[in-house]
């Protein structure tokens, strides 16, 4: 494999141990937007603007890199956040500078109230206008939901598709549903989602021979393709760094077939994008493992059962449920107390995910229960 150098990730804005910048845990200044509680800034100076909400840990597929075939330990139904609770937490985060929300899961479209969730979150006023709401989905329910979701204010959608071969799809996801994903992609296009992004996780000996075909599929279908390096988040804990298909290898395969032109700097976006044969199609490489973007990370996560996670790979969580519901000896908390918990969680964020550290430990939760 030839070595391909992706543009370097942004470095940490502030050395470890340095004092937190003004606004990290201070009250908003005179110039703050109305209702603002200041910004969510960690001790490395990273300002948090992007919220990922996992709406459910349930899923209609069983992708091998994400969920076990059977024996999933589901979150207790009673612990799943209600729409009101989600809207409340998103509202508090909006006062802390969050401007973008991605809804994910598990499979977000399995929630019966999904259109309502989108509508209500998209109505929340952030510091720079209404929150921008996007979604990552396996696409199975898009044929019936693409139009209502768009009408409810969903701005963008990413559909996951790892293979274009039916037998392979059935093996990889343990469900024979490729045709339904393809219908979902068509429905999303018809509904006017643009850009429509397609996500794939290349795996050695599984689908890495389809990297070029997937980009061609995106070109033919007016979509944008994004490849995500496989991360150690599978339920079976079988991930191996040496087996992983990295971004350099993906780029190698693509440049043998297409002319790729880098689009700008990666910045805080995890994706390094390239125009394919001059555009308009782009391909994005998300090199979470081989070129981590932790130094520019601006994400905070909320799980379906109300845990705040400051990193995909965090091993600690902050539990919002008792504050929201007044359980476990708590009285129901006001929004300031919720904001305080969110600030504390971000204050404890580590510099990076540490996948390459000798002491790295995979989080207990599989990806399906964290939210990708």
What is the rounded end-to-end Cα distance, in angstroms, of the chain?
28
* Shortest Å, Cβ 370 to ligand SAM: 8
Q: Which is nearer to ligand SF4, 175 or 257 (CB)?
A: 175
Q: Which is nearer to ligand SAM, 104 or 310 (CB)?
A: 104
Residue 65 in contact with ligand SAM, rule: CB under 6 A: yes
Sheet hosting strand 156-160, strand order edge to edge = 260-263, 271-276, 282-286, 223-228, 196-200, 156-160, 132-137, 100-104, 50-54, 299-302, 307-309, 318-319
Q: Which of 24, 51, 53, 61 binds ligand SF4 (CB under 6 A)?
A: 61
Here the tokens at position 15 are 């050395």
> Minimal CA–CA distance to 133: which of 87, 92, 96, 164?
87
Nearest-angstrom CA–CA distance, 239 and 233: 8
Please indicate if the annotation marks 52 as binding a ligand: yes
Choose the contact partner of 67 out of ligand SF4, ligand SAM, none; CB within 5 to 8 A by kind.
ligand SF4
Here the tokens at position 251 are 């780029």
Which range of residues in 186-194, 213-221, 310-318, 364-372 is near ligand SAM by CB under 6 A? 364-372
* Shortest Å, Cβ 233 to ligand SAM: 4
Q: Which of 39, 64, 95, 137 binds ligand SAM (CB under 6 A)?
A: 137
Contact (CB, 8 A) for 44 and 351: yes
Nearest-angstrom CA–CA distance, 214 and 145: 24
Name which of residues 144 to 203 contact ligand SAM (CB under 6 A): 160, 199, 201
Nearest-angstrom CA–CA distance, 100 and 136: 13
Which range of residues in 55-63, 80-88, 180-188, 321-329 is near ligand SF4 by CB under 6 A? 55-63
Please indicate if the annotation marks 63 as binding a ligand: yes
Choose the contact partner of 218 out of ligand SAM, ligand SF4, none; CB within 5 to 8 A by kind.
none
Q: 32-61 mask for ligand SAM (x: CB under 6 A)?
A: ---------------------------x--
* Shortest Å, Cβ 200 to ligand SAM: 7
Q: Which residue is nearest to ligand SAM (CB)?
A: 372
Give the torsion sign (CA, 324, 325, 326, 330). Answer: negative
Q: Which is nearer to ligand SAM, 160 or 282 (CB)?
A: 160
Contact (CB, 8 A) for 151 and 191: no
Please indicate if the annotation marks 197 as binding a ligand: yes
* Shortest Å, Cβ 336 to ligand SF4: 34
Q: Which of 66, 99, 244, 341 binds ligand SAM (CB under 6 A)?
A: 66
Phi and psi at residue 127, to the nearest 5°: -70, -20
Please indicate if the annotation marks 65 as binding a ligand: yes
Here the tokens at position 144 are 């019936």
The 10 Å Cβ neighbour count of residue 251 is 22
* Shortest Å, Cβ 320 to ligand SF4: 22
Contacts with 162 (C-beta within 8 Å, 6 or more apart), sequence order: 63, 169, 172, 173, 200, 201, 202, 203, 207
Choose the contact partner of 109 out of ligand SF4, ligand SAM, none; CB within 5 to 8 A by kind.
none
Residue 134 in contact with ligand SAM, rule: CB under 6 A: no
Give the torsion sign (CA, 333, 339, 344, 349). Answer: positive
Contacts with 353 (C-beta within 8 Å, 6 or more apart), sequence order: 288, 292, 294, 311, 312, 313
**Residue ranges at the known binding site for S-adenosyl-L-methionine:** 65, 106, 160, 231
Residues within the interface to ligand SAM (CB under 6 A): 59, 65-66, 104-105, 107, 136-138, 160, 199, 201, 228, 230-231, 233-234, 367-368, 372
Residues within the interface to ligand SF4 (CB under 6 A): 59, 61-63, 66-67, 105-107, 138, 160, 367-368
């Amino acid at each position: 494999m030839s070595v391909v150098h992706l543009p370097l990730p942004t470095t940490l804005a502030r050395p470890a141990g340095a004092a937190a910048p003004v606004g990290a845990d201070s009250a908003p200044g005179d110039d703050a937007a109305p209702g603002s509680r200041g910004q969510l800034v960690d001790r490395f100076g990273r300002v948090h603007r992007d919220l990922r909400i996992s709406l459910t840990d349930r899923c209609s597929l069983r992708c091998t890199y994400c969920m076990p075939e059977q024996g999933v330990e589901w979150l207790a139904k009673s612990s799943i956040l209600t729409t009101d609770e989600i809207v409340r937490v998103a509202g508090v985060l909006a006062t802390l500078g969050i401007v973008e929300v991605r809804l994910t899961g598990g499979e977000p479209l399995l929630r019966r109230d999904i259109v309502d969730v989108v509508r209500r979150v998209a109505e929340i006023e952030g510091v720079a206008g209404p929150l921008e709401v996007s979604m990552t989905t396996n696409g199975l329910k898009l044929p019936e939901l693409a139009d209502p979701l768009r009408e409810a204010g969903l701005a963008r959608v990413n559909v996951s598709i790892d293979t274009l071969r039916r037998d392979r799809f059935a093996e990889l996801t343990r469900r024979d549903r490729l045709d339904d994903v393809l219908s979902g992609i068509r429905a999303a296009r018809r509904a006017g989602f643009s850009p429509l992004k397609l996500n794939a996780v290349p795996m050695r000996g599984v689908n890495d021979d389809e990297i070029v075909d997937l980009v061609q599929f995106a070109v033919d279908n007016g979509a944008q393709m994004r490849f995500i390096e496989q991360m150690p988040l599978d339920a079976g804990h079988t991930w191996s760094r040496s087996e992983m298909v990295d971004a350099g290898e993906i780029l190698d395969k693509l440049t043998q077939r297409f002319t790729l032109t880098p689009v700008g700097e990666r910045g805080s976006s995890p994706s390094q994008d390239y125009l394919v044969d001059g555009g308009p199609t782009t391909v994005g490489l998300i090199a979470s493992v081989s070129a981590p973007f932790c130094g520019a990370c601006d994400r905070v996560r909320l799980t379906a059962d109300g845990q705040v996670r400051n990193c995909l790979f965090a091993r600690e969580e902050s539990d919002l449920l008792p504050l929201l519901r007044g359980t476990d000896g708590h009285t129901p908390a006001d929004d300031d107390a919720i904001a305080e918990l969110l600030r504390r969680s971000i204050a404890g964020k580590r510099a990076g995910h540490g996948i390459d550290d000798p002491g790295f430990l995979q989080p207990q939760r599989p990806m399906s229960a964290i939210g990708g």
